[in-house]
Amino acid sequence: MGSIPVKPLSVLDLSPITEGGNASLALHNSRDLAQHAERLGYNRYWLAEHHNMPGIASAATAVVIGHVAAGTTTIRVGSGGIMLPNHAPLMVAEQFGTLEALFPGRIDLGVGRAPGTDQVTAHALRRNLTTDADNFPQDVAELLAYLGPVREGQRVRAVPGAGSNVPVWILGSSLFGAQLAAILGLPYAFASHFAPEMMMQAVQIYRERFRPSEYLQEPYVMLGFNVFAAETEEEAELLSTSMLQSFLRLRFGNPGPLPPPLEDFRNRVGPMERAMVERRLECSAIGTGETVRRVIIEFLERTGADELMITSQIYDHAARVRSYRITAEAYGLVPPPQPA
């Protein structure tokens, strides 16, 4: 259904806890989805750090990455991302150095400067807030140093971690991360799937100000994108309503497990909520495989993204797997060779 694509597709998984489900089921489903994604030819499988969120099971992100990586063999597995203000850079370097030692050449480390939670929970995580987002550039530099080769006279080393050179990505939903990624010469991932407003400006700043580094010679941009694919347009639209309900609940201070889809959802909410939903869906494809393929290609042509990271907050696990399969087949992903 079209030529083989140049740009890779990847997966962002929030390890959703659904209404009626639990964390154990969510983590089992994450590993199962990763196995399907690997067979379908997706490039990476990233998990996100969130705390005090009843609908997300990936709070201990490094642990979940190990769980997923142990159930796969070729797909890259990583964080989208680790919220660095919540952690000492040395601890992150040790965790991801350990993951790299266990799964060589398959681990990515995406880092962000947001807390991934509310301020009360951030205080519970850190015990105090003296380490905050303002320290993010210094924390990234410290992290890169721990993951790089040991320097003469270095007293503190990440073991494992030193010399592992785990690829570090800067994540962002504003212009700050774009500038930092450009200055440091690191790959950049923008959270356009939930914050599309500054996407094009951030991408432009990153590309214009990028400085080649020991990590990367040319700018590399990955963009987040929502996809809900199904056999019919109507079914795909219905699948998307779980995410939209969850989004509105979060915005109004009532987060919870991922709810089941709701018929005629957009007509059940008021004009303000409908406008919020429409903005959330600016970087989204909803429909059959043909529709999803067309929208993805148009988005890639418009943005020039080097890679797309797809997230699909779908209540039914089988439907979520099917959405990724329909997308892969329609887009033309090539599954990796199978061992003889």
- Domain boundary assignment for the chain: 9-331
Contact (Cβ atoms closer than 8 angstroms) between residue 50 and residue 114: no
Which one-letter amino acid corresponds to residue 184? L
Contact (Cβ atoms closer than 8 angstroms) between residue 228 and residue 240: yes
Q: How many CA atoms lie within 13 A of 116 on its CB side?
A: 30
pLDDT of residue 159: 96
**Percentage helix, strand, coil for the chain under 3-state DSSP, each rounded to 5:** 45, 15, 40
Interior CA angle at 327 toward 65 and 22, to 5°?
40
Report how far apart, in Å, the C-alpha atoms of 249 and of each of 77, 113, 312 are: 29, 24, 17
Cite the beta strand spans of 259-306 per DSSP E.
284-287
Please list the residues that pair with 227 across neighbouring strands.
285
Phi–psi pair at 157, nearest 5 degrees: -125, 150
Q: Residue 296, Cα to own-chain centre: how many angstroms?
A: 17
Q: Which regions in the chain score pLDDT beneath 70? A: 1-5, 115-118, 121-123, 125-133, 338-340
Phi–psi pair at 78, nearest 5 degrees: -165, -165
pLDDT of residue 4: 43
**What is the CATH code of the structural domain delimited by 9-331?**
3.20.20.30
What is the secondary structure of 3-51 as a DSSP string? PPPSS-EEEEE--BPBTT--HHHHHHHHHHHHHHHHHHT-SEEEE----
Sign of torsion, CA 42 192 68 20? negative
pLDDT of residue 94: 98
Q: Write out pLDDT tens, residues 241-291.
A: 999 999 999 989 899 999 999 998 988 888 999 899 888 899 999 999 999
Q: Is the peptide bond before 160 cis (omega within 30 degrees of 0)?
A: yes
Supply the DSSP symbol for 76: E
Which one-letter amino acid corresponds to residue 167? P
Q: Residue 202, Cα to own-chain centre: how many angstroms?
A: 17
Tokens linked to 44: 């990476």
Sign of torsion, CA 186 187 191 195? positive
pLDDT of residue 120: 73
pLDDT of residue 335: 76
